[in-house]
Amino acid sequence: MKSEQTDFEREIAQLLVSSLNLALDPVSIDPEAPLFREGLGLDSIDMLEIALAISQHYGIQMRSDDPENATIFASLRTLAAAIKARRA
Amino acid sequence: MAEAWFEKRERGSGWGLRIGRTLALALGRRAGRALLWPITAYFFCFLREGRVGLRRYYEALEGHPPSVAALFAHYLTFARTILDRAYLLARHPDAPPYDIRGFEAVSPFLGQGRGAVLLGAHLGSFDAARAAASLRPDLKVQVIMNVGVSRKLNEALRVLDPGAQDSILSLGGAASLLRVKEILADGGLVGLMGDRPLGGELTYEAEFLGRMARFPLGPLRLAATLQVPVFFFTALYRKAASGACRYELVFEPLCGPAPEVALRGEWMRRLGERYVDTLQAYCRAAPDNWFNFYDFWQAQDVGPPRRATPGDGGPGRVGGRAPMERSDAPRDVGARGER
């Protein structure tokens, strides 16, 4: 059962799709599905692209030494939550 | 560099290297080079795969099979660059001299929050370059390697050069790529190898020395994402008729920073073409610097990239990337982003 996107998650989904130029409807991204490998099939270079887009749009710097990197980029939901928390 | 070959030689033991390094530094380069003859002869006789791979290389390069003497000389060149690592990295008085060519094109991008990517190959000695860079404290150079492939090599470098870990970054997860961005933001240089695809990696096809070969797409994608200028880089081992040798560090502009994401496909295609053309030109200029000791053309036909298996790429990839994942798609760099 696919979970529904919140408004903010939809905004981040749109950012993912535009920054990676994915041939994909942002609304169709399951917020709880893994972004990498078996989920959306993204890899570490895509993740860098996303991190750069996020810092450009929201002014949040993702750091290489952040121990939470793996959890932040787990899914659309965790990513949106992390951006929200850091922006606040 | 030739990690695979290097790993075969090493078989996991750092001891041989430690002893070798100590001997080499204590005896000096002349004695070290004399010792290379029996050592090289041993590997020449017992590593058949390397000989076969080199033969294919020379056939492609010169149109006819090489003589046994030429093959052996090639092995010896590789062994000499390995030996020179010890002197270069230890800043030993016997360290061979080097010239730098084309760096003036790179230097404007240093230290102004921009940086540049150096796209290299298993051609010549990356260590000659790292040693040169270590003499310039204002220069930040980071070489990226793939974790799986280079674990043994990293171990070896730790023995040869305890400071190496600071300038060599293993390409593992996404965090290491964020680190790359930070280095570039500091105005540093990031070195990537663009010639050797790993199993399961996305590749593109290009004509190399007259035959189609596969090259890894990852370095081009990473360079595109980083949006910094890209230079071809190599440190060639050059021998004069007198027997004296020196290293020649070469920087050659390939592409300016990548454009916005929708236009990257064309940019990557151009970068791939220029990279392969430049690599080819330097192979012709210094044939014995080619340190891919396997059949470069055939090895890459083994199986399609991992992500080409149905369903593995995920639903979003169908329109984005699929064409270049298929091994039957010719010269299809950067299909992504053009739809």
Task: Find the mean pLDDT for residues B161-189.
Answer: 69
Interface with chain B: mutation pick from A14, A30, A37, A48, highest number of B CBs within 10 Å: A48
Most confident of B39-53, B201-215, B292-306: B201-215
Element (H, E) at A74: none
Cβ-contact B206, B292 below 8 angstroms: no
Cβ-contact B16, B50 below 8 angstroms: no
Predicted confidence at residue B300, as pLDDT, reads 52
Q: Rounded to the nearest 5°, which phi and psi values hold at A5?
A: -80, 140
Closest CA to B250 of B57, B90, B106, B82: B106
Task: Find the mean pLDDT for residues B176-192.
Answer: 85
- Chain B positions touching chain A (beta carbons under 8 Å): 171, 173-182, 218, 221-222, 225-226, 261-262, 264, 307, 312-320, 336-337, 339
Predicted confidence at residue B137, as pLDDT, reads 65
d(CA B238, CA B247): 6
Residue A57: strand, helix, or coil: helix
Predicted confidence at residue A65, as pLDDT, reads 80
Predicted confidence at residue B319, as pLDDT, reads 31
The pTM assigned to this predicted structure is 0.81
Residue A78: strand, helix, or coil: helix
Its ipTM equals 0.88
Which CATH number fits the domain A7-20+33-87, given the four candidates 1.10.1200.10, 3.40.50.1370, 3.30.450.20, 3.30.1330.60? 1.10.1200.10
A41/B314 touch (CB, cutoff 8 Å), yes or no: yes
Residue A29: strand, helix, or coil: coil
Question: Is residue B333's pLDDT more than 50?
Answer: no
Residues in chain B with CB shorter than 8 Å from the CB of A47 are 174, 177
A24/B262 touch (CB, cutoff 8 Å), yes or no: no
- Tens-place pLDDT, residues B195-231: 988 777 789 999 999 999 999 998 999 999 999 999 9
Residue A32: CB atoms within 10 Å = 14
Predicted confidence at residue B173, as pLDDT, reads 61
Nearest CA in chain A to B262: A21
Question: Is residue B2's pLDDT more than 70?
Answer: no
Residue A1 pLDDT class (50, 70, 90 cuts): low
Q: Which long-range contacts (CB under 8 A, 24 or more apart) does B298-303 make?
A: B298/B56, B299/B53, B300/B197, B300/B203, B300/B213, B300/B214, B301/B214, B301/B327, B302/B199, B303/B199
Residue A19 pLDDT class (50, 70, 90 cuts): very high
d(CA B332, CA B325): 9
Predicted confidence at residue B20, as pLDDT, reads 76
Tokens (6 digits) for A28? 């169709």
Predicted confidence at residue B307, as pLDDT, reads 34
Greater pLDDT, B264 or B8: B264
> Which DSSP letter does residue A12 get?
H
d(CA B317, CA A21): 10
Question: Is residue B54's pLDDT more than 90?
Answer: yes
Out of A41-45, B277-281, B284-288, least confident range? A41-45
Task: Find the mean pLDDT for residues B41-47.
Answer: 84
- Tens-place pLDDT, residues B238-283: 988 787 889 999 999 999 999 999 899 999 999 999 999 999 999 9
Q: Rounded to the nearest 5°, which phi and psi values hold at B130?
A: -65, -40
Predicted confidence at residue B146, as pLDDT, reads 52
B320/A64 touch (CB, cutoff 8 Å), yes or no: no
B319/A39 touch (CB, cutoff 8 Å), yes or no: no
Predicted confidence at residue B281, as pLDDT, reads 98
A67–B contact, CB cutoff 8 A: no
Tokens (6 digits) for B50? 């390397």
Q: What value, to the nearest 5°, has the Cα angle with vertex B311 and ends B308 and B316?
A: 90
Question: Is residue B312's pLDDT more than 80?
Answer: no
Residues in chain B with CB shorter than 8 Å from the CB of A65 are 175, 179
- Tens-place pLDDT, residues B91-142: 888 888 888 899 899 988 887 668 999 999 999 987 777 777 776 666 667 7
Query: If you count them, how many residues does chain B have?
Result: 339
A47–chain B nearest CA distance, Å? 6
d(CA B78, CA B164): 20
Cα diameter, chain B: 62
Predicted confidence at residue B337, as pLDDT, reads 36
Tokens (6 digits) for B66? 């090489």
Question: Is residue A72's pLDDT more than 70?
Answer: yes
Task: Find the mean pLDDT for residues A13-35.
Answer: 92
Share of chain B above pLDDT 70, in %: 71
Tokens (6 digits) for B223? 């360079």
Closest CA to B21 of B151, B161, B129, B163: B161
